[in-house]
Each structure stands twice: as structure tokens, then as C-alpha cells.
Amino acid sequence: MATQAEFEIRSNMASLVALMKTARQPGVRLSQSEIASRLAPLSGFIPQSFTEKLATYSAELSDASGGTYSWQSRPGMNANGGTYGGYLFSEHGLEMEQMIDKGLYGAMFYTHARSIVVSGVTNESIHRMLALFGANPDFPNTDRAQVRPDVVAAAYCARRDQNDGKGMYSQIRREFIRAQTAVIEGKSTEARGAVEAAFRLWERAIMATVINYTYTVVTELSATNPSDSSRGLAMHAYGECIGFLTGWRFVNAADRTITTAQIDELLSLLKAPLNGPWTCYEIWQQPQVNLTRVVNARETLQSIYSFSDEEMISFKSNWVNVQGRR
């Protein structure tokens, strides 16, 4: 099967994520070697520059596991981090699971898909790219399908799509079909154009998802006296944002719309610069002062990708859940 290697990547990724999620449970310890063993089968598809970051994130995750995190603490006051509100956080309040998991969406899945079509767009390369996107030729437009659901980026793309034929999932489906048709008809230029359009939509879907999570952060932390679970959810959503943005930093600059400078600006705005120091804990410790940073990051992304106000409102929702799509 032409996509066997890509499905192995997806399977190994799922195994890694499942392992990391076990450390969300209080008292569960994970060693760095356990994490490294799950990362090993993926290493050949990850840029060396991000592999170095993964070593740091894995060490932080391991150190935090088994402990308890106090959301009011600062680095040096909270040992090595720990569980809080249903998730595992480093001493900085950053969820290393998301730095690894969502970081790989850009640094591995998207980057590897780009490498596959460099030498030419063929029927095989289109199918391999589709597998790395996380969809299949049925294009179910839901991550809740009982058979071959959307996974990884495709799952998030489906959540941003209202299933009316106009959303990003519907558009990317059309581009994949257009690319395949062009290959069959020997129209290499059109095939390349369709693939490039699909990549642009893939990136837009990820950034629309970052926007979705910024709404969660602001909503949960704007409440009066948020519960531990609500605050934990906000911190988790924040970690998703930082993970996605950080991973996209390791995509070749020519292969993305957002510039390196813009990503660095966003990470600094959100108090999680690429090379530290991370002071993200200030966002939930002083939300009245720092939530404007999250709003500004959202508005910056809207400007970079020219999302309409209507689209921004739609990004608040998980349309798969809202519409009960299976």
C-alpha cells in the first residue's frame, strides 16, 4: 500500500500521545526514556532543530509527572510542576504534552508532506499527503466516524467546517480531487497548483484552531473565581495554541504563509517565546492584565490570514459536535 509508511507515522504518533496522556493522572510518573522510545520511530521525519526542542520538552514532562501543580506558583516555588485541573503542567504552567503533540503537527506531519511532493505531484504522493493530513479518500468530515474517522490536522479542519460545502474541509477536499484529476489528465501545472492550495488550506485550518483555543482561554479565565477544572481547561487550551505555533516555526519559511518574525512575535506576546523564558503563568494569575495579549494574538492571526469577522465567529465552535456529525 502506497500510504503504509504514513499510516505507521499516524499509529506511532497515537502511541506517543496515549503514553503522554497517562501522566495527566495524579501520581503517574513517566521517564524521559519512555517518552524517547515512543518518539524514536518518528525521528526520521522530524527536523533536527525540532528534535532538540523535543528533548527539552520530554525532560520537562518527565520532571513534572507524578507531582502536583499550584496555579498560583511561579518557577522555583512549585518544584517541577505536576497535575492540575485534569492536565499536567511544567513549573511554568505550560503543558509539555501539547508542545510535543501539537508541535509535531507542523514540524513533522506538514513538513514531511511538503517533502513528499517536492520532486513531483503523482497519484501516490497525493495519497501520501492526504494520509499525513489525516483524512482518507472518503473525506468523512468528522473525527467521530465509526470507520476511518478524520485524525490529526483533518480532524481539526473538520471541526472548523460547517458542512455546507463552503468551509476549509470542503475546500481542501476539492483541491485533493482537482490534483488527482490533473495528474490523470497529465496537467502537471494544475496538479501542483491544487496541491499548493491544499497546503494553504491545511495551514489556515490549524491557525483557525489556534483562534478557537484563544476563545476558550479568554472565556474560562474571564469568569469570576473560575473552578480548578475551568482554569485547567484554559491552561490546556493555551498550551494547544503554543504547541501549534511553535511547531509551525519549524516549517520551512517558504512553505508557510505566516513569517518567522510573526510567529516569534506571537509567541512573545503569549509569554512563551521559542527559547524562553516562559512566563505564561502570568496570564491566569493576572487575567485582568494579560488576557488582552490573547485577544491581540487572535486579532493578529485574523490579519495575517485575512479571516473575515464571520469566519472568526464560526471558529468559536466545534461544528462536528454542534451538528452531531458521525
pLDDT of 79 reads 76
Which one, of 307, 303, 301, lies nearest residue 167 by Cα? 307
pLDDT of 1 reads 63
* Distance (Å, whole) CA 155 – CA 321: 12
pLDDT of 76 reads 84
Domain of residue 87, residue span: 4-322
C-alpha cell at 91: 513549573
Sequence-separated (6 or more) residues with CB below 8 Å from residue 200: 257
pLDDT of 247 reads 98
Each residue's pLDDT, cut to its tens digit, for the chain (326 residues) gives: 689 999 999 999 999 999 999 999 999 999 999 999 999 999 999 999 999 999 999 999 999 999 999 999 999 887 799 999 999 999 999 999 999 999 999 999 999 999 999 999 999 999 999 999 999 999 999 999 999 999 999 999 999 999 999 999 999 999 999 999 999 999 999 999 999 999 999 999 999 999 999 999 999 999 999 999 999 999 999 999 999 999 999 999 999 999 999 999 999 999 999 999 999 999 999 999 999 999 999 999 999 999 999 999 999 999 999 999 99
Percent of the chain that is helix, strand, coil (3-state, to 5): 65, 0, 35
pLDDT of 77 reads 83
C-alpha cell at 92: 511554568
pLDDT of 2 reads 82
pLDDT of 303 reads 98
3-state secondary structure of 310: helix
Which one, of 289, 318, 287, 272, lies nearest residue 89 by Cα? 272
* Distance (Å, whole) CA 251 – CA 247: 7
3-state secondary structure of 83: strand
Domain count, the chain: 1
Our CA dihedral for 234, 236, 238, 239, rounded to 10 degrees, sits at: 170
* Distance (Å, whole) CA 137 – CA 148: 10
C-alpha cell at 247: 511547531
Give the count of beta carbons closer than 10 Å to the beta carbon of residue 8. 13
Q: Are 48 and 55 in contact (CB under 8 A)?
A: no
Helices and strands counted in the chain (H then E): 15, 2
